[in-house]
């Protein structure tokens, strides 16, 4: 699985002060499952060490890149280097991009913008991020700063693995495969957005008798849009209750009560998501409820990442 990553997060000494911002999650956890493609448009443009830069708002609201030391307009030089880095990462079959937060080049909506007089004028996407969003509108993208939040990290990794599963699935797929793909992703999609899940179901239903190529293309767009949505306590709780409905006929009243208590405790952030999910998995396995066992929502990514073991992975 190839992921493009800001070079400084990979521990490369490419920052303006020749330092780096090695990220533990990227380097020590996700690296087990991914191959990283590094980029650093600023280092390509200005090498290091170099004066720091900032984004400045022009009178026509457009943005320019300015040297903090000389005040020179460096927009064209950084833009050219960014295009080269964009071409470099685009040569790879990427599954996601992870950016360094707050940077005028790499920040996703977190790059500070200034007025000519030096006053703050809000925040925006960095120069390279804006280009990446235009080039890869549906690709999972996140900043390392936001990945410190357990809920955002879980959402990103779920999106990443769901995106990867679709990319792998679509190679040589036919209509029957798509029906199956939609079926096993039911609860994962509902945890993201139930309206989009239903729209995807209509696409798979194909009442207008479209060609498979048309169907797949519409499905891909909506699937990738759905997995980019964030889960919530309410949506996840609904999914858990729905899943519990598949095993309830096998359980005695005490077991049912315990399962519902676990779901309540999860929603109250007393226990992590992994607890009710493990109980559901146990019952699905014991009573051979294949429909549940096949759901990607039960195991969307390697369990070693332990993202659902944190009570804070909910909002
Ligand atoms: S934030 Fe981006 S441009 Fe700045 S050093 Fe890191 S990779 Fe390079």
- Tell me which residue has its CA closest to atom 5 in ligand 1: 15
DSSP 275: H
Same domain? For 13 and 112 the reply is yes
In the prediction, which pLDDT does 74 show?
Answer: 98
Report if residue 104 sits inside a domain: yes
> pLDDT tens digits, residue range 238-272?
999 999 999 999 999 999 999 999 999 999 999 99
The mean pLDDT of the chain is: 97
Backbone φ and ψ for 129, nearest 5 degrees, come out as -60, -45
> pLDDT tens digits, residue range 114-171?
999 999 999 999 999 999 999 999 999 999 999 999 999 999 999 999 999 999 999 9
- Checking 220-226 for CB contacts under 8 A at 24+ apart, the result is 220/166, 220/170, 221/138, 222/196, 223/162, 223/166, 223/185, 223/189, 224/138, 224/163, 224/166, 225/138, 225/196, 226/189, 226/192, 226/193, 226/196, 226/197, 226/200
For the chain, the domain total comes to 3
In the prediction, which pLDDT does 314 show?
Answer: 85
> pLDDT tens digits, residue range 79-99?
999 999 999 999 999 999 999
Task: For ligand 1, say whether the CB of 101 is within 6 Å of any of its atoms.
Answer: no
Last-in-domain residue among 148, 180, 206: 148
> pLDDT tens digits, residue range 174-225?
999 999 999 999 999 999 999 999 999 999 999 989 999 999 999 999 999 9
Task: For ligand 1, say whether the CB of 7 is within 6 Å of any of its atoms.
Answer: yes
**105 CA from centroid of ligand 1 (Å):** 7
Report if residue 314 sits inside a domain: no
Atom of ligand 1 nearest to the CA of 16: 5
Last-in-domain residue among 86, 120, 148: 148
Computed from CA positions of residues 111, 115, 120, 122, in that sequence, does the dihedral angle turn out positive or negative?
negative
Check: CB of residue 50 under 8 Å from CB of residue 29. no
Same domain? For 20 and 137 the reply is yes
The boundaries of the domain holding residue 106 are 2-148
Same domain? For 6 and 143 the reply is yes
Same domain? For 24 and 128 the reply is yes
Same domain? For 208 and 278 the reply is no
Residue 72 binned pLDDT confidence (cut-offs 50, 70, 90) = very high
Query: Which runs of consecutive H residues, i.e. helices, occur in the chain?
Result: 24, 41-46, 75-90, 127-135, 150-169, 175-184, 186-192, 194-205, 212-227, 233-247, 253-267, 274-286, 290-293
Same domain? For 218 and 252 the reply is no
Residue 230 binned pLDDT confidence (cut-offs 50, 70, 90) = very high
Report if residue 315 sits inside a domain: no
Last-in-domain residue among 176, 203, 227: 227
**149 CA from centroid of ligand 1 (Å):** 21
Q: Is the pLDDT of residue 313 over 90?
A: no
Same domain? For 127 and 65 the reply is yes
**C-alpha distances in Å from residue 176, one per residue of 179, 196, 208, 250, 297:** 5, 20, 17, 31, 21
In the prediction, which pLDDT does 221 show?
Answer: 98
Same domain? For 8 and 138 the reply is yes
Report if residue 288 sits inside a domain: yes
Task: For ligand 1, say whether the CB of 40 is within 6 Å of any of its atoms.
Answer: yes
Tally: H helices and E strands in the chain: 13, 8
- Tell me which residue has its CA closest to atom 8 in ligand 1: 40
Same domain? For 129 and 255 the reply is no
Ligand 1: which of 8, 99, 142 to mutate, judged by most atoms within 8 Å of the beta carbon? Answer: 8
Backbone φ and ψ for 124, nearest 5 degrees, come out as -155, 180
Same domain? For 211 and 248 the reply is no
CA 161 to chain centre: 9
Report if residue 36 sits inside a domain: yes
Q: Is the pLDDT of residue 281 over 90?
A: yes
Same domain? For 39 and 120 the reply is yes
């Amino acid at each position: 699985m190839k992921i493009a990553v800001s070079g400084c997060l990979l521990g490369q000494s490419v920052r303006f002060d020749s330092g780096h911002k090695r990220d533990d999650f990227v380097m020590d956890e996700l690296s087990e499952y991914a191959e990283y493609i590094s980029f650093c448009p600023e280092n390509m443009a200005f090498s290091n060490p170099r004066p720091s830069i900032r984004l400045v708002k022009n009178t026509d609201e457009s943005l320019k890149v300015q040297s903090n030391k000389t005040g020179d307009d460096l927009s064209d030089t950084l833009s050219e280097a960014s295009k080269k880095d964009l071409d470099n990462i685009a040569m790879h079959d990427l599954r996601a991009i992870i950016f360094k937060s707050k940077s005028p080049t790499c920040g996703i909506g977190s790059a500070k913008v200034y007025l000519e007089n030096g006053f703050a004028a809000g925040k925006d996407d960095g120069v390279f991020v804006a280009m990446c969003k235009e080039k890869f509108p549906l690709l999972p993208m996140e900043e390392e700063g936001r990945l410190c939040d357990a809920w955002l990290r879980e959402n990103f990794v779920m999106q990443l693995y769901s995106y990867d599963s679709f990319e792998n699935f679509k190679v040589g797929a036919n209509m029957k495969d798509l029906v199956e793909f939609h079926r096993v992703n039911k609860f994962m999609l509902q945890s993201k957005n139930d309206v989009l899940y239903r729209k995807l179901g209509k696409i798979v239903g194909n009442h207008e008798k479209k060609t498979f190529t048309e169907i797949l293309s519409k499905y891909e767009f909506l699937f990738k849009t759905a997995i980019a949505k964030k889960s919530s306590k309410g949506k996840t709780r609904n999914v858990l209750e729905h899943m519990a409905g598949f095993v309830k006929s096998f359980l005695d009243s005490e077991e049912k009560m315990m399962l519902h208590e676990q779901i309540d405790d999860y929603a109250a952030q007393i226990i992590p998501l992994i607890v009710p999910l493990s109980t559901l998995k146990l019952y699905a396995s014991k009573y051979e409820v294949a429909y549940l066992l096949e759901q990607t929502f039960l195991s969307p990514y390697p369990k070693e990442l332990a993202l659902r073991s944190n009570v804070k992975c909910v909002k």
